[in-house]
Amino acid sequence: MVSEVAERNSLKISSEQDIVLVRKTVRDVCRDAGFGLTDVTRIVTAASELARNIYRYADHGTLTWNMVSDGMKSGLELIFADQGPGIEDVNMALQEGYTTARSMGMGLPGTKKLMDDMVIETKLGVGTKITIRKWVR
């Protein structure tokens, strides 16, 4: 079941189909914002990784997006939030190859490399909020 848009600029993530919707929505927003094909691909890949993490580890959460500016540059901010178990050791989770899911361990480190900025806020037993930004070049 694909979730409807929770509000303008926000999507609920609670199923595999929602990950597909996140990818499509982020792709459309990036194109509208003027990102080139390479950056669109980077942003969509990062968004897909974070949406999948929400679905895999927290069961459900949200994506919220905003256009942002910092003086002379503009860009896109994506906020992924959940009320899942939290990340026990953020520094460890950001190391390439580290995994708790028997995967390749490229999710968070890969996302950080693809984006210009990434901020992780997490508390065990409360949830995680990851904010990523990419600036239009």
Domains of the chain (ranges; CATH) run: 5-135 (3.30.565.10)
pLDDT number for residue 106: 62
Note the pLDDT tens digit of each residue in 88-126: 989 888 887 666 665 544 689 999 999 999 999 999 999
Closest of 117, 136, 126 to residue 32, by C-alpha: 136
Q: What is the mean pLDDT of the chain?
A: 89
- What global pTM score does this model have? 0.89
Q: Average of pLDDT values for 30-46? A: 96
Q: Is pLDDT above 90 for 55?
A: yes
Cβ–Cβ < 8 Å for 137, 36: yes
Distance of CA 136 to the CA centre of its chain: 17
More confident residue, 28 or 93: 28
